[in-house]
Amino acid sequence: MALKLITPPTQEPVTLAEAKAHCRVTGTDEDSLFTSFYIPQARAMAEAELRRPVCSQTFELTLDDFPELEINLQTAGVTSITSVKYIASGVEQTIASTNYGLDNADPYESWLIPAANYDWPTPDDAANSVRVRFVAGYGTPADVPAGIKQWMLLHIAAAYENRGALNERDMKPLAFLDTLIAAERVWKAI
């Protein structure tokens, strides 16, 4: 079983203008540093802390076989299933969307479930014969909770202010910062 990012977010939760304003940067000399490093790195750190994607992204979960019932999608915040495919007799097959549903009511887990009176088909006995592609994340940057954005801005500012630090010990600690994202964190092991 493997989970792979297929399409990263097309927008970051924090804009260049927001990051520069928070860091009190007025020039454009370091814009590329903000857009290529500080902002994406802060999002990646937030996703690692939260154990969930922030803005909408496409993932693919591969399995060797269908389980008896539901499939744990290994990601919180799944918003839609793009496709469910499997290999049978060496040919890729696509399961109709009417034959499955998404159970994302639990904030910590998302499940792909077969429709009533539908049994998963039997794929070839081979590695990665089943592929589930789905979208997960809060949605657009406007949908991302304010606490996550503030957490990111504070980390961006810390990285910017300490850009000459050789390691984490040289950076100023950000005490109590994680309380901004505690409500959105996935606490349950997936």
Q: Which helix (H) or strand (E) holds 188?
A: none
pLDDT of residue 161: 84
pLDDT of residue 107: 79
Domain 2-52+140-184: CATH class, spelled out: mainly alpha
Q: What is the pLDDT along the chain (190 residues), one digit of tens a residue?
A: 789 999 999 999 999 999 999 999 999 999 999 999 999 999 998 898 888 899 999 999 999 999 989 999 998 899 999 999 999 999 999 999 999 999 998 878 899 999 999 999 999 999 999 999 999 999 999 999 998 999 999 989 988 887 765 555 555 556 556 666 665 666 555 4
pLDDT of residue 106: 84
pLDDT of residue 186: 65
pLDDT of residue 51: 84
CB proximity list for 96: less than 8 A, separation 6 or greater: none
pLDDT of residue 33: 92
Answer for the pair 135, 57: CB distance below 8 angstroms, yes or no: yes
pTM strictly above 0.85: no
What letter represents residue 110's amino acid?
S
Burial of 8 (0-12, 13-18, 19+ CB in 10 A): middle
